[in-house]
Amino acid sequence: MSATLEAASLGCHVTLVDSDLALGGQLIKQTHKFFGSKDERAGTRGFKISEILLEELNSYKGTVEVHTNCTATGFYKEDGVVSCVIGEDEYFRIKPEKIVMATGAQERLLPFPNNHLPGVYGAGAVQTLMNVYGVVPGKKVLMVGAGNIGLIVSYQLMQAGVEIAGIVEAMDKVGGYWVHAAKTRRLGVPIYLRHTIREALGDKIVEGAVIQEIDDRFQPTGKEIKIDADVICMAVGLTPTCELLWQAGCEMVFVPQLCGHVAQRDLFMRTSHKDIWVAGDASGIEEASAAMVEGRIAGVGVAKALGHGEASEHSGRLEEFKRRLADLRGGEVGQKICQGISCCTVNEWGV
């Protein structure tokens, strides 16, 4: 959405394709107030930010065409065609001059016996159920992962009236912000540090789980603890969704700090493919605030390449967005992100 807005504001015609039923990505399910800086609407709840973006988008009715429930299924590098499918069976092809691939991320899962049972859900999926559609995900939830997502979703589940059996975390400390951990602890939720899930219990659906302490080398040790739960919520991280980038033959590099394979990019987020830009979690897992700024940068990059807007405008906006990204990446977590980004950024693509 951010890339679309920025490109449209400089005069580009944009077709925005999104596989979800509504625009806004993960923002539509995020009920917590954002951190970061005022420029990125810190203090505003995620779903409100998506409403603001949607309103902004509506002011470009003439030049922006939006398709929701529409998946970009393939990029054909021979002729630059993108194939799309609306719903389950309405196909069309499109040949854009420039493409921004902002395909987001997908959730990771852990291998353990019975992890296929209904009731083992991704944390994003649980958020969708309860925060977008108002459906109670379960009666009692075991959360796996005490990063920000695990902590926030636990708290949101309690706001929806669901009991949290506990939060399991393999590391010896909580990965997420202290404020989120404190909120759940104050409500009496146990956080099992240095523990992992050994198996899900149940025949046809989840009825519980077995967790166990692990040692410094992540090997199980000590006695197994049986937990009653009808939902096991997996919040063990995300990995960039980059199939289209692979298909396009973009130069990819594995960057642990960005949680997977990502496309190499220049300062405008342009990949090694001259017509393709990348932004958001697809370019490396980070906070939504940073994703939105990256989208803006890619939008300027596309407009520049298409000859829309003045050179001074492009460089001015880039500088402004770079400053805002630097603000967001100021902290300890930001350092790791910056390290990762330096592993996949080129100053300029040789022609």
The residue among 162 and 189 lying less far from other proteins, judged by its C-beta, is 162
Q: Taking Cα atoms as reference points, which of 246, 250, 295, 297 lies closest to residue 273?
A: 250
The answer to whether residue 159 forms part of the interface with other proteins (CB under 8 A) is yes
Q: Which residues of 94-132 are buried (b: 16+ CB within 10 A; e: fewer)?
A: eebebbbbbbbbbbeeeebebeebebbbbbbebbbbbbe
Distance (Å) of CA 67 to CA 19, 103, 146: 8, 14, 36
The answer to whether residue 30 forms part of the interface with other proteins (CB under 8 A) is no
The residue among 41 and 314 lying less far from other proteins, judged by its C-beta, is 41
Among residues 4, 50, 128, 289, the one that binds other proteins under rule CB under 8 A: 128
Question: Which DSSP symbol is given to 121?
Answer: E
Long-range Cβ contacts of 243-249 (<8 Å, 24+ apart): 243/103, 244/72, 244/74, 244/75, 244/101, 244/103, 245/101, 245/271, 245/276, 245/278, 245/282, 247/74, 247/75, 247/76, 247/77, 248/75, 248/77, 248/101, 248/273, 248/276, 249/77, 249/273
Which of the ranges 125-133, 171-179, 273-281, 322-330 carries the binding residues for other proteins, by CB under 8 A? Answer: 125-133
Q: Min. distance of Cβ 126 from other proteins in angstroms?
A: 8
The answer to whether residue 125 forms part of the interface with other proteins (CB under 8 A) is yes
The total of other beta-carbon atoms located within 10 Å of residue 71's CB is 17
Which of the ranges 5-13, 15-23, 177-185, 295-303 carries the binding residues for other proteins, by CB under 8 A? Answer: 15-23
The structure tokens listed for 237 are: 């991280």
What string of DSSP letters covers 177-208?
Answer: -HHHHHHHHHTT--EEETEEEEEEE-SSS--E
Distance (Å) of CA 281 to CA 12, 224, 333: 23, 36, 15
Which of the ranges 17-25, 244-252, 262-270, 343-351 carries the binding residues for other proteins, by CB under 8 A? Answer: 17-25
The total of other beta-carbon atoms located within 10 Å of residue 250's CB is 22
Among residues 51, 56, 65, 107, the one that binds other proteins under rule CB under 8 A: 107
The answer to whether residue 289 forms part of the interface with other proteins (CB under 8 A) is no
The answer to whether residue 335 forms part of the interface with other proteins (CB under 8 A) is no
The answer to whether residue 51 forms part of the interface with other proteins (CB under 8 A) is no
Radius of gyration of the chain (CA): 21
The structure tokens listed for 165 are: 């059996």
**Residues binding other proteins: what is the number (CB under 8 A)?**
36
Among residues 52, 81, 135, 326, the one that binds other proteins under rule CB under 8 A: 135
Give the x-and-dash track for 295-324 against other proteins (CB under 8 A).
Answer: ------------------------------
The residue among 70 and 167 lying less far from other proteins, judged by its C-beta, is 70
Which of the ranges 129-137, 142-150, 189-197, 273-281 carries the binding residues for other proteins, by CB under 8 A? Answer: 129-137
The residue among 182 and 253 lying less far from other proteins, judged by its C-beta, is 182
Among residues 23, 160, 305, 306, the one that binds other proteins under rule CB under 8 A: 160
Give burial (CB, 10 Å; 0-12/13-18/19+) of 247: middle
The residue among 134 and 188 lying less far from other proteins, judged by its C-beta, is 134
The residue among 15 and 239 lying less far from other proteins, judged by its C-beta, is 239
Q: Would you tell me which residues interact with other proteins (CB under 8 A)?
A: 19-21, 31, 45, 47, 69, 71, 87-88, 106-107, 116-122, 124-125, 128-131, 133-137, 159-161, 204-205, 241
